Amino acid sequence: MIKKNEIYQRLSGVIAEENIKTDELLRNHLYTKLGGKADFFITPTTYEEVQSVVKLANEMDFPFTLLGNGSNLIVKDGGIRGVVLHLKNFNEIKTNVSQIVAQSGAAIIDVSRRALAERLSGLEFACGIPGTVGGALFMNAGAYGGEISDVLDYAYVVDRNGELVKRTAADLELDYRHSNIAENGDIVLEATFSLKPGNYDEIKELMDDLTYKRESKQPLEYPSCGSVFKRPPGYFAGKLIQDSELQGTSIGGAEVSTKHAGFIVNKNNATATDYIALIEHVQKTVKEKFNVDLEREVKIIGEDD
Ligand code: FAD
């Protein structure tokens, strides 16, 4: 088995030491405020560094995990073994006529705001989604009738061999809250969105309207991972949970939101164990009452405590 100090030594050959942290508490970096420590937490500053880390991981056979803003992610309390890559340094957003090129660590909300400033229409739906560009592609994030697949032209990724590769939107097989990014072992580095010239006031009005809907319906005052479950065919997850009288149910510091039944909030220093136990309780109760299986939208990764 490879020792941690051997990994550290080799990592510091490809990434500046100030961008490598050990035993880093992940909950401090994630929207959900859940999760244990990462053996290594690295924040590369160039695409070449990302490529080198992937090649090193292949050579030394250590696992690596991508983190965006952790707004769709529950990291278990035992944390993550191996290397966690956080692409916060890749946050540039550029405009090229009616295209926006955004790096993977940029907030998709900021990309949506840039589109407004440039009077470009198509990304209004993303104005309240608290993820990164990388996470938004991974999830094919969407809201209020729009989704990433409507506007994505292509992306640059580092593939599982450490090569920089261009993937078209079709290559990524984007579907309802799904892409093939995980299956391919890709790391998204940047995305190009094709938008349409629009009217500033109309774009702004739509964004304001969607923001109002979000703020009035979602418990944005607490950390959460958004909608925990996918929409089951023919039903709405939130309605099933509401009709199961689960709102307000809590385990430890995690609670089924009283404001939006589809959300579980981290109300009082919840552990990931609390959160996961509550998700399972909701799934079991809804199955018993309505015979519907709720499939998780949120990803659960890492080790038990
Ligand atoms: P993370 O949660 O950090 O990661 C999600 C997955 O993407 C992980 O498997 C991770 O490994 C992978 N990943 C992240 N970055 C990369 C990368 N660069 N390359 C490869 N893989 C990567 N979602 C919607 O679709 N619509 C909504 O309206 C919506 N509303 C939300 C509201 C709230 C209040 C919250 C908390 C969440 C909401 N979400 C919504 C969920 C979430 O914001 C989205 O799924 C978002 O796209 C996740 O992005 P992230 O950066 O937080 O990804």
- The domain total for the chain is 3
The rounded distance, in Å, linking the Cα atoms of 69 and 105 is 8
**Residue 147: inside a domain:** yes
Asked if residue 295 and residue 274 are part of one domain, the reply reads yes
**Residue 101: inside a domain:** yes
**Residue 255: inside a domain:** yes
227 is catalytic: yes
For residue 3, the model assigns a pLDDT of 84
For residue 1, the model assigns a pLDDT of 58
pLDDT in tens, the chain (305 residues): 568 899 999 999 999 999 999 999 999 999 999 999 999 999 999 999 999 999 999 999 999 999 999 999 999 999 999 999 999 999 999 999 999 999 999 999 999 999 999 999 999 999 999 999 999 999 999 999 999 999 999 999 999 999 999 999 999 999 999 999 999 999 999 999 999 999 999 999 999 999 999 999 999 999 999 999 999 999 999 999 999 999 999 999 999 999 999 999 999 999 999 999 999 999 999 999 999 999 999 999 999 98
Q: Which residues contact 302 (CB under 8 A, 6 or more apart)?
A: 35, 36, 75, 76, 77, 78, 79, 80, 272
Final residue belonging to a domain, choices 61, 86, 111: 86
Asked if residue 153 and residue 59 are part of one domain, the reply reads no
Residue 136: give the domain boundaries. 93-202
CATH for 143: 3.30.465.10
Final residue belonging to a domain, choices 86, 104, 126: 86
Ligand 1 pocket test, candidate residues 139, 181, 267, most atoms within 8 A of CB: 139
For residue 83, the model assigns a pLDDT of 96
17 is catalytic: no
- The one catalytic residue in 24, 147, 177, 179 is 177
Residue 153: other Cβ atoms inside 10 A:
14
Asked if residue 288 and residue 260 are part of one domain, the reply reads yes
Return the ligand 1 atom nearest residue 223 CA: 36
Q: Which residues contact 86 (CB under 8 A, 6 or more apart)?
A: 29, 41, 42, 43, 67, 105
Return the ligand 1 atom nearest residue 132 CA: 51
**Residue 24: inside a domain:** yes
Tokens standing for 40?
């290594």
**Residue 209: inside a domain:** no
Return the ligand 1 atom nearest residue 137 CA: 47
Asked if residue 98 and residue 39 are part of one domain, the reply reads no
Asked if residue 100 and residue 197 are part of one domain, the reply reads yes
For residue 305, the model assigns a pLDDT of 83
- The one catalytic residue in 112, 179, 224, 227 is 227
Asked if residue 72 and residue 112 are part of one domain, the reply reads no
CATH for 29: 3.30.43.10
**Residue 208: inside a domain:** no
Asked if residue 68 and residue 21 are part of one domain, the reply reads yes
Ligand 1 site residues (CB inside 6 A) read 31, 66-73, 87, 104, 129-132, 134-136, 138-139, 141-143, 181, 187-188, 218, 220, 224-226, 299
CATH for 235: 3.90.78.10
Cβ(136)–Cβ(155) below 8 Å: no
**Residue 214: inside a domain:** no
* Element (DSSP H or E) covering residue 278: helix 272-290
Return the ligand 1 atom nearest residue 67 CA: 3
3-state secondary structure of 201: helix
Ligand 1 pocket test, candidate residues 92, 138, 211, most atoms within 8 A of CB: 138
Asked if residue 81 and residue 97 are part of one domain, the reply reads no
Asked if residue 197 and residue 97 are part of one domain, the reply reads yes
Locate the DSSP E strands across the chain. Answer: 20-25, 37-42, 64-67, 73-75, 80-86, 93-96, 99-103, 120-121, 142-143, 146-147, 152-158, 164-168, 187-194, 196-197, 224-227, 250-251, 254-256, 263-266, 299-301
